[in-house]
Chain A
C-alpha cells in the first residue's frame, strides 16, 4: 500500500463525492453535509493506492448508463473493482472500512461512525451517539429516508 493523493486517486475531492453519490444513492449535498467526504477520499486512497481507485472511477463511469440503473452497473464490473465499490459504499453507510483484502475492519473515526448513512436512512442515530430524548422510542419511526 502506498500513500496517494486524492487527486491521483480520484481526480479530486469533487470527483470522489460524485462517484460516492452514485454508489450510495445519496446526493452530493447530503454527502457533503456529513463532513466526511475529504476524510474518506484520503482514507481510501491511503489504504488501497491510486490505481484501484482510478479503476473504480473509470469502470463505474463507463458502466453507468442512466440515472436509476446504477444497481445494474455491478454486472459489468470485474471483481476487484466491484469489491472496492462495495467497500467505499460500506464506508459511507457505516463509517467502518470493512475487512478489505484480509485486513481487520476499521472505524475511521467517532464522527465517521456517527455519520453512517444507514442511520439517515432509518431516521435515527448510530447507537451510543444520539440523545433523542426520554420516550423517543415510543414514537413511530422518524421520517424514513430523511
Chain B
C-alpha cells in the first residue's frame, strides 16, 4: 500500500476510487490492486501513520474511557462524526431523545452506531461470521420482506473466498448438520472451531436435545447449542485448501502461525492480540498500486452526460490546515462507506434514485436481551463475547408468522443489557444489604462474587424485513462541521418483528426454566432503554446490533431497486455501492461475512468491466474504406 499521508493530494489517474476503508472497501481494493489496478481509497476518518502506534493508542483510549461504548477506542473529529449508542436516551415517560450525528425522527429509535476512522466499523465488530441460509435469500416466499436476485449457490464460492480473506474458524460438519448449510464435499474452514465457553457447556448440558413448541406454530424445535463461526484466529486446519493448510494472519497483516485468540474479552471494541480480523490486516497486504488518503470526506459522485461515473469530489481536512475541496477521476467509483453514509452520499449527489429506493429499507437486527443468574458460577467476562448459539428459530415455516431469530449465548455477563460491571458494583454499594443502604467489606466482596460470577445473557437477534418506510434522508437545515446535511433516520419495527420479539420472550422463559436460572430481565422506562414498545399488552425493549443494511437495496428490476446483483447502480455505469446497504434481507446471521462475499463478487465484476474497457476496439477488414 502507498500511504497517502494525511490530507495529501493523490497524484495521477486511477482505475478505481473506493470510498471508505472498512471491510468491504478494503477487500475490493485488495482484489483490484492484486490485478495491478490503480486504486485510490478515500477514507473519511483518520488513519494512524504507524499501525502499531495506532493500535496502542486505541487500546489506551479504550482502557481509560469512562464509557466503554463500541467507538470508545477512537475520539471522533468534528469533521467526521458518527452515531454512538450513547446518543440515545430513554425518557422517563417512555419514548426517547437523540443527539449527535444521526437525527432521529421515527416512532422508535434506530439504535445502532458505526465508526468513521480508517478501518471503519470493521475495527470494532464482534467478529462473528455465520453464513446466511439458502432460504434466507427467498424471504418474500414467506410472505414478508424481499427476496434476493441471487441465491445461496451463486454466493457460495464467494463465501469461501471471504472465509479465506477474513480467516474464519468453524466446524463444517456442525454447520452442515445443525445449521443446514450446504458446502462443497471436501470443504473445511481455514481454522478449526473456537473452543466453546464454560457457559456454553453448562447451557448445552441442560438444553441439548430438549424440545420447545414454537410459540407461533406449535411445531417442536429441538434445542442444540451450536458453535458460531468466528473471524478470529484459532488452530489452523491442515486439511484446508485440499491439504495446503492455512497460516493465521496476525498483527498488521503479517502471517503468524502462532496467532490465536488469547481470551482478552474485549473483541468489541478492540482485540489487543490481533487475533480478530479487521480491515487493517487486509490494508497491510494491499499492493503498491493501492493508495489510501485519509481525512477525505467524499460529498459528491460525478457523472458524465450519459450518467457514467467519472470520479468524486471530496473535502480534505487535517488537524491544522483549512478544509480544501478536491476532485479526482477514475473509470469506476465504488461506494463502501457504510449503509447510512452510502445512502447519504447518493442523496447528496442526487444519483441512482430512479427507483426512489435510495436510503429506504433500512434494516438492522433489533436485539431482545434477557439476562439472569445461573445457579452456579459460570465464568463470565472471559473469551469472545459469544461462542455459541441456538439456531432452531432461524428457519422454517414459523417465519411466516413471526420474525425469525438467532439466539446468541452471551459470555460477557450483563454488559450489553446493563453496561459494564461498574453498574453492578454501584448498585450493591447503593442498595445492597439488609437496610438497603449499601454493602461494604466482606459482605460486599461476597455479594459481588455471587452477583457477577453467575451472570449470563441470551441475545435474540431478530430479522428485520425491508420496509421502504424505514429510511435515511437528509436535513439541509442541520449540517455537520463540513457543512454537509446530516443524515436523518425514520425507523420503526413492524408487527412481524414485534411478533418475533414476543415469541423470543416466551422461548427465553422456557429456556430459563430449563436452566434453573433466575430471570433478572427488566427494562424500565428511563435513560437506559430508548428502544421500548408495547405489543399485545406487554412491554419489550431492544438494542441495535450495529448491522445496518438495505439502504441501496439490490434487486433484478431498476424500477424497484438501486443496485443489481453485482452491486452496480442501475442508473450509472461505473458506479457501485457495496456493503450491507445492498442486502435485500438481513436474515438472522451477523451480516459481515455476507457483505464480504458480496464485495469480493463485485470486485470480480469490476475487474471484468475494466478489462472490457482495456480491450482495443475490434477492427475488421471489411470496415476498411
Q: Show the binding face of A for B, using Cβ within 8 Å.
A: 22-26, 68, 70-75, 82, 85-86, 89-90, 93-94, 96, 98, 104-107, 109-110, 113-114, 117-119, 121-122, 124-142, 144-145
Contact B433 A122 (CB under 8 A): no
Contact B263 A128 (CB under 8 A): no
B435: CB under 8 A from chain A?
Answer: yes
Q: Write the chain A residue with the least CB distance to B271.
A: A128
Complex-state Cα separation, A135 to B382, whole angstroms: 10
Residues from chain B with a CB closer than 8 A to the CB of A71 are: 432-434, 438-444
New contact pairs (9) apart from A70-B440, A90-B422, A122-B453, CB-CB < 8 Å: A26-B445, A68-B441, A70-B443, A74-B437, A134-B263, A137-B195, A137-B197, A137-B387, A141-B378
Q: Given A121-B445, A122-B381, check contact A74 B435 (CB 8 Å).
A: yes
Complex-state Cα separation, A140 to B200, whole angstroms: 11
Q: Out of B234, B383, B441, which one reaches A24, CB within 8 Å?
A: B441
CB distance from B274 to the nearest CB of A (A): 12
Contact B195 A121 (CB under 8 A): no
Complex-state Cα separation, A60 to B16, whole angstroms: 69
Complex-state Cα separation, A117 to B65, whole angstroms: 18
CB distance from A102 to the nearest CB of B (A): 14
CB distance from B260 to the nearest CB of A (A): 4
Contact B421 A118 (CB under 8 A): yes
Complex-state Cα separation, A136 to B262, whole angstroms: 8
Contact A129 B264 (CB under 8 A): yes
Q: Write the chain B residue with the least CB distance to A26.
A: B445
Complex-state Cα separation, A75 to B452, whole angstroms: 25
Residues from chain A with a CB closer than 8 A to the CB of B59 are: 128
Residues from chain B with a CB closer than 8 A to the CB of A82 are: 437-438
B479: CB under 8 A from chain A?
Answer: no
Q: 20 A–B contact pairs at CB < 8 A?
A: A71-B432, A74-B439, A85-B438, A86-B426, A89-B425, A90-B426, A93-B425, A94-B420, A110-B64, A121-B448, A122-B449, A122-B452, A127-B264, A131-B264, A134-B262, A135-B195, A137-B263, A137-B379, A138-B198, A141-B382
B78: CB under 8 A from chain A?
Answer: no
Contact B195 A107 (CB under 8 A): no
Q: Given A96-B422, A140-B379, check contact A109 B64 (CB 8 Å).
A: yes
Q: Out of B67, B263, B438, which one reaches A86, CB within 8 Å?
A: B438
Q: Which B residues from 409 to 453 make CB contacts under 8 A with A?
A: 411-412, 420-422, 425-426, 429-430, 432-435, 437-446, 448-449, 452-453
Contact A141 B198 (CB under 8 A): yes
Q: Write the chain B residue with the least CB distance to A137.
A: B383
Count how many pairs of residues, one from A and one from B, have CB atoms less than 8 Å apart in the complex: 187
Contact B64 A121 (CB under 8 A): no
Residues from chain B with a CB closer than 8 A to the CB of A142 are: 379
Q: Out of A105, A110, A128, which one reaches B266, CB within 8 Å?
A: A128
Contact B442 A25 (CB under 8 A): yes
B474: CB under 8 A from chain A?
Answer: no
Complex-state Cα separation, A75 to B198, whole angstroms: 39
Q: Out of B198, B262, B440, which one reaches A22, CB within 8 Å?
A: B440
Contact A90 B445 (CB under 8 A): no
Complex-state Cα separation, A68 to B62, whole angstroms: 37
Residues from chain A with a CB closer than 8 A to the CB of B485 are: none
CB distance from B472 to the nearest CB of A (A): 31
Q: Write the chain A residue with the least CB distance to B261.
A: A134
Contact B260 A134 (CB under 8 A): yes
Complex-state Cα separation, A130 to B60, whole angstroms: 14
Q: Write the chain A residue with the least CB distance to B382.
A: A137
Residues from chain A with a CB closer than 8 A to the CB of B273 are: 131
Contact B201 A94 (CB under 8 A): no
B75: CB under 8 A from chain A?
Answer: no
Residues from chain A with a CB closer than 8 A to the CB of B122 are: none
Residues from chain B with a CB closer than 8 A to the CB of A72 are: 433-435
Residues from chain B with a CB closer than 8 A to the CB of A125 are: 264-265
CB distance from A116 to the nearest CB of B (A): 8
B272: CB under 8 A from chain A?
Answer: yes
Contact A107 B65 (CB under 8 A): yes
Contact B263 A130 (CB under 8 A): yes
Contact B264 A128 (CB under 8 A): yes
CB distance from B247 to the nearest CB of A (A): 16
Complex-state Cα separation, A85 to B448, whole angstroms: 17
Complex-state Cα separation, A104 to B422, whole angstroms: 14
Q: Given A121-B449, A131-B272, A137-B197, check contact A98 B377 (CB 8 Å).
A: no
Contact B63 A114 (CB under 8 A): yes
How would residues 365 to 385 of chain B score, 1 for a CB under 8 Å from any chain A CB and 0 otherwise?
A: 000000000000111111110
B97: CB under 8 A from chain A?
Answer: no
Q: Given A22-B441, A25-B444, A144-B453, check contact A86 B430 (CB 8 Å).
A: yes
Complex-state Cα separation, A117 to B442, whole angstroms: 12
B270: CB under 8 A from chain A?
Answer: yes
Q: Write the chain A residue with the least CB distance to B449.
A: A121
Contact B382 A70 (CB under 8 A): no
Q: Given A23-B440, A122-B452, check contact A74 B433 (CB 8 Å).
A: yes
B517: CB under 8 A from chain A?
Answer: no
Q: Given A129-B264, A137-B197, check contact A94 B382 (CB 8 Å).
A: no
CB distance from A128 to the nearest CB of B (A): 3
Complex-state Cα separation, A117 to B445, whole angstroms: 9
Complex-state Cα separation, A122 to B195, whole angstroms: 21
Q: Write the chain B residue with the least CB distance to A112.
A: B64
Residues from chain A with a CB closer than 8 A to the CB of B270 are: 128
Q: Given A70-B443, A128-B272, check contact A136 B422 (CB 8 Å).
A: no
Complex-state Cα separation, A104 to B425, whole angstroms: 17
Q: Out of B382, B437, B442, which one reaches A132, CB within 8 Å?
A: B382
Residues from chain A with a CB closer than 8 A to the CB of B62 are: 128
B66: CB under 8 A from chain A?
Answer: yes
B196: CB under 8 A from chain A?
Answer: yes
Residues from chain B with a CB closer than 8 A to the CB of A131 are: 262-264, 272-273
